[in-house]
């Protein structure tokens, strides 16, 4: 059995799966295509609509057979909410998800970080990977009811008080989108600035927006700017939980401005803050805002590009080029890229994100040379640099060169080979690994 952590995943066997969340909760699932949207209201399985092709809800258990899902289905998101609408999940027992296969064999279990004021939690998602399916633990909270979740996935939600035959009748409140056109106004201002800079426009992404809204709401509730909640949940945890896998990511956390125009003007007023507006690498943006009890407005903007194999390779190659430029300036031979070192470095960056740690030594005691040996590296001498939080190859290499220990590794004459790893998520957002071999 796999005990999953937020962002962790596991491969699933063929056949039907039973997913159970006992307790005072309503369980739902949303079936979506590759773009993260439903094909119609029939893709939302909940208490008023307990079945769809390949999915059936009965009490505290939903059964999903990926082979029976409608054509084009690529993801099934598991959603939990209080049976008593509007009750904060933090006041209830922890909603623990158990996934079982044929014969009742338990395959995975996920106990999410304890929620607070949230009234809905995206617990996990089943997603297609090649010919098979995997499960990813999420733990993404919403404070605005099932209506907000449904609309984020493209489900048509009836107005409060209306009858909804076979569709979700919302419990009222904020519906997951800015009702006054804030997001649209922000996108227009951003893309006007990008057009003036001669870079491609960005597209709004509902997953980034969901993470941004949740983070802005958390800051507003506590009345202060912060990259993470008291329980350790960071903005980057929230992004990962939505299923958006970033190649590049940066954010604005701001309080004070009242309108999108004021927010954009503030961001453009600083050279560092203005960078994402003109960065051609940014492809998607998500915006969230929330008012504190004092009336002060809190904003979160997330700028990102999606992870691709080609993009990851380009980023790793850029780190190697910049590292070799530093060696050339010191009169040293360049380092040759070694795919085995790269595999070990990538695995360590991935592991730091998946298990929320930052160290050369893994939680079970594995050291850099152990990981290199396990990857088949023949080099007798091994060195490692790690870093977190830097948002570009230039920034991370500059940081290493400004640190005596890391600089010594980069400029060590005996080293002849290099591998680079990079992953996003966890608390800091980005996790870098350089592995050197003699």
Residue 366 has pLDDT above 80, yes or no: yes
Q: pLDDT, tens digit, for every residue of 68-126?
A: 999 999 999 999 988 877 688 888 899 999 999 988 899 999 998 888 878 889 999 99
Residue 408 has pLDDT above 60, yes or no: yes
Residue 45 has pLDDT above 80, yes or no: yes
pLDDT, mean over the chain: 88
Q: What is the pLDDT of residue 175?
A: 31
Query: How far is residue 427's CA from residue 55's CA, in Å, rounded to a whole number?
Result: 34
Query: How far is residue 253's CA from residue 159's CA, in Å, rounded to a whole number?
Result: 32
36 φ/ψ angles, rounded to the nearest 5 degrees: 85, 15
Query: How large is the average pLDDT for residues 337-359?
Result: 94
Query: How far is residue 352's CA from residue 432's CA, in Å, rounded to a whole number?
Result: 10
Q: What is the pLDDT of residue 156?
A: 58
Cβ-based neighbours of 402, under 8 Å, separated by 6 or more: none
Q: pLDDT, tens digit, for every residue of 219-250?
A: 999 999 999 888 888 999 999 888 888 999 99
**327-333 CB contacts, 8 Å cutoff, 24+ apart:** 327/410, 327/411, 330/411, 332/411, 332/413, 333/413, 333/416
Residue 178 has pLDDT above 60, yes or no: no
Residue 399 has pLDDT above 90, yes or no: yes
DSSP 234: B
Closest CA to 116 of 218, 10, 13, 15: 218
Confidence of residue 47 (pLDDT cuts 50, 70, 90): confident
User: For the chain, how many residues are written?
Assistant: 438
Say if residues 100 and 106 touch (Cβ distance below 8 Å): yes
Q: What is the pLDDT of residue 1?
A: 66
Query: How far is residue 292's CA from residue 222's CA, in Å, rounded to a whole number?
Result: 8
**Higher pLDDT residue, 269 or 90?**
269
């Amino acid at each position: 059995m796999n005990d999953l952590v937020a962002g962790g995943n596991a491969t699933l066997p063929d056949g039907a799966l039973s997913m159970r969340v006992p307790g005072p909760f309503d369980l739902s699932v949303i079936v979506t295509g590759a773009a993260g949207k439903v094909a119609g209201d029939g893709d939302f399985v909940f208490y008023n609509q307990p079945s769809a092709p390949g999915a059936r809800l009965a009490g505290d258990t939903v059964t999903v057979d990926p082979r029976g899902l409608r054509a084009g289905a690529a993801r099934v998101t598991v959603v939990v909410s209080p049976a008593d609408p509007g009750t904060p999940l933090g006041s209830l027992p922890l909603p623990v998800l158990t996934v079982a296969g044929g014969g009742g064999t338990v395959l995975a279990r996920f106990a999410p970080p304890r929620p607070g004021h949230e009234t809905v939690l995206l617990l996990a998602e089943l997603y297609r990977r090649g010919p098979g399916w995997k499960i990813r633990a999420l733990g993404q909270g919403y404070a605005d009811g099932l209506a907000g979740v449904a609309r984020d996935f493209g489900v048509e939600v009836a107005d409060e008080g209306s009858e909804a035959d076979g569709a979700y009748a919302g419990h009222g409140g904020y519906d997951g989108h800015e009702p006054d056109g804030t997001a649209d106004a922000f996108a227009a201002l951003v893309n006007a600035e990008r057009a003036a800079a001669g870079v491609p426009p960005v597209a709004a992404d509902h997953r980034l927006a969901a993470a941004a809204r949740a983070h802005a709401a958390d800051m507003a509730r506590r009345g202060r700017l912060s990259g993470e909640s008291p329980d350790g949940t960071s903005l980057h945890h929230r992004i990962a939980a939505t299923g958006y896998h970033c190649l590049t990511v940066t954010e604005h956390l701001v309080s004070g401005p009242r309108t999108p125009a004021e927010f954009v003007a503030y961001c453009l007023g600083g050279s560092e803050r203005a960078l994402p507006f003109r960065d051609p690498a940014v492809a998607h943006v998500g915006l969230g805002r929330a008012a504190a009890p004092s009336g002060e407005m809190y904003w979160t903007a997330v700028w990102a590009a999606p992870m691709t194999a080609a993009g990851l390779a380009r980023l790793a190659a850029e780190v190697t080029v910049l590292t070799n430029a530093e060696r050339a300036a010191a009169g040293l031979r360049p380092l040759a890229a070694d795919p085995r070192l790269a595999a070990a470095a990538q695995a360590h960056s991935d592991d730091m994100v998946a298990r929320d740690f930052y160290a050369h030594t893994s939680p079970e005691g594995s050291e850099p040379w152990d990981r290199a040996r396990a990857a088949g590296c023949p080099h007798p001498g091994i060195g490692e640099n790690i870093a977190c939080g830097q948002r570009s190859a230039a920034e991370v290499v500059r940081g290493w060169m400004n640190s005596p220990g890391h600089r010594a590794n980069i400029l060590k004459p005996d080293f002849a080979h290099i591998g680079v790893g990079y992953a996003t998520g966890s608390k800091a957002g980005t996790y870098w690994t350089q592995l050197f071999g003699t």
